[in-house]
Amino acid sequence: MKKALAVDDSATMRNLVKIALEGAGFSVDTAENGQQALELARKNDYDIVISDINMPIMDGLQFLREFRSFNRRTPVLMLTTETEAAKKEEAKRLGATGWIVKPFKPEDLVKVVRRVVR
């Protein structure tokens, strides 16, 4: 079974991602911020990480920077309301695989995830 990590400070958004991916056959762990996500990512292997950008404690870009320092292969999708080109460029530079803008349709999320997870 493929394993995903969903990172978002919104419980509603974490649950939406979790339900969509579990429906597609994934096992899903969740974290409320980048710091919790890093702790999980250091202990577990994930086939994909889906992370919000704007979160307290550690935001998604800082998480991505830290995560890429020890994991270059796992795809990371940034899930956010941000549409600013500079944020997208920074995420790409830090190693983001893709970008999904909220709100999204669960079936669209699953399509993108299936495209990047091997």
Contact 66, 38 (CB under 8 A): yes
Looking at residue 91, its pLDDT comes to: 93
**Domain range for residue 75?**
3-116
CA distance 20 to 110: 7
What are the pLDDT tens digits along the chain (118 aa)? 999 999 999 999 999 999 999 999 999 999 999 999 999 999 999 999 999 999 999 999 999 999 999 999 999 999 888 778 888 889 999 999 999 988 899 999 999 999 999 7
- Residue 112: name the closest of 93, 99, 103 by CA: 99
DSSP state, 8?
A: -
Looking at residue 83, its pLDDT comes to: 75
CA distance 33 to 89: 21
Chain position carrying tokens 């577990």: 44
CA distance 88 to 32: 21
Looking at residue 86, its pLDDT comes to: 86
Burial group, residue 50, by CB count within 10 angstroms (0-12, 13-18, 19+): buried
Looking at residue 85, its pLDDT comes to: 83
Q: How many domains does the chain have?
A: 1
Side by side, the strands of the sheet bearing 98-101 are 27-31, 3-7, 48-51, 76-80, 98-101
Looking at residue 81, its pLDDT comes to: 84
Any bridge partners for residue 100, and if so which? 79
User: Looking at residue 8, which CATH number applies to its domain?
Assistant: 3.40.50.2300
Chain position carrying tokens 């079936």: 107
